[in-house]
Amino acid sequence: MAGDVVELENVGLRYSDAGAETLRDVRLRLTRGGFYFLTGPSGAGKTSLLKLLYLQQRPTRGLLRLFGEDVAALGRDRLPAFRRRIGVVFQDFRLIRHLSAFDNVALPLRVSGTSERDLREPVREMLAWVGLSKRQDAKPATLSGGEQQRVAIARAVIGRPELLVADEPTGNVDPGMAERLLHLFDALNQLGTTVVIATHDVHLFGRAGRARLLRLEHGTIADPTGEFAHPPRAAALAAAG
């Protein structure tokens, strides 16, 4: 469908031939411009599902389409450009150690060919938004976990990707910064980016009234259509998980 950014049909994923499936019979469609929270108990397969969305893993079986294309048919020569359409916030940050906070955030723009003159102001504005204006020259080793998380988020959104995938993006920041980052994700979503956030933070998705909840249980999506998030529903899911 033209309106679907992500489409999974009966997708299964296993990490070894002898192992059990981590994901099984996953059916899911994420529409263009949608905002989704992925929740579920630890070990349910949330990170594995995100890996499929940003092409770190390929399905063992089933169909996965991104931006209307079957990923199984993508040649190696097309993968770099394809991945640039996807912003990723990793749970372990994955910052480049020898680069400053500024240069880590600027990296996607440089890869896409943006000139140094044109990237400086957007990068500085993004670092200011995540509260790191005074830390732009700092290397990752000198940043706290929360600061590294904010650099990782700034890097993921700086290029206004078509799809943003975030794994526990507020896990290392205080509630005030979590709220600010949620506003950043919401603003990006309103510009047309499809946002998928894996989180255990009930308060985070309880404040996002327009978002949909997707619950992963035992390696499969419990409700492929999602439900509109609201605080009572969020609290009930947290109690169940």
- Please report whether residue 31 resides in a domain: no
The pLDDT tens digits of the residues spanning 90-108 come to 989 999 999 999 999 999 9
The pLDDT tens digits of the residues spanning 33-74 come to 999 999 988 888 999 999 999 999 999 999 999 999 999 998
Residue 173 is predicted with a pLDDT of 86
Give strand pairing partners of 23: 13
- Please report whether residue 122 resides in a domain: yes
Give the pTM: 0.87
Average pLDDT score, the chain: 87
Number of other CB atoms surrounding residue 226 within 10 Å? 21
For the chain, what is the domain count? 1
Q: Helix-strand-coil percent breakdown of the chain, rounded to 5? A: 40, 25, 40
For residue 44, the one-letter residue type is A
- Please report whether residue 114 resides in a domain: yes
Kindly report each contact of residues 228-237 with a partner whose C-beta sits within 8 Å and lies 24 or more positions away, as own/partner: 229/37, 229/205, 230/206, 231/206, 234/202, 234/203, 234/205, 234/206, 235/202, 235/206, 237/39, 237/202, 237/213
Domain of 123 in residue numbering reads as 97-160
The pLDDT tens digits of the residues spanning 178-207 come to 888 888 999 999 999 999 999 887 667 666
- Please report whether residue 9 resides in a domain: no
- Please report whether residue 85 resides in a domain: no
Number of other CB atoms surrounding residue 59 within 10 Å? 19
Distance CA 47, CA 239 (A): 21
Residue 138 is predicted with a pLDDT of 98
Share of the chain above pLDDT 90, in %: 67
- Please report whether residue 213 resides in a domain: no
- Please report whether residue 138 resides in a domain: yes
CA distances from 204 to 176, 185, 208, 211 (A): 11, 11, 7, 11
Check residues 208 and 224 and name the one with the higher pLDDT: 208
Provide the b/e sequence for 179-193 (b: ≥16 CB within 10 Å).
ebbbebbeebbeeeb
- Please report whether residue 150 resides in a domain: yes
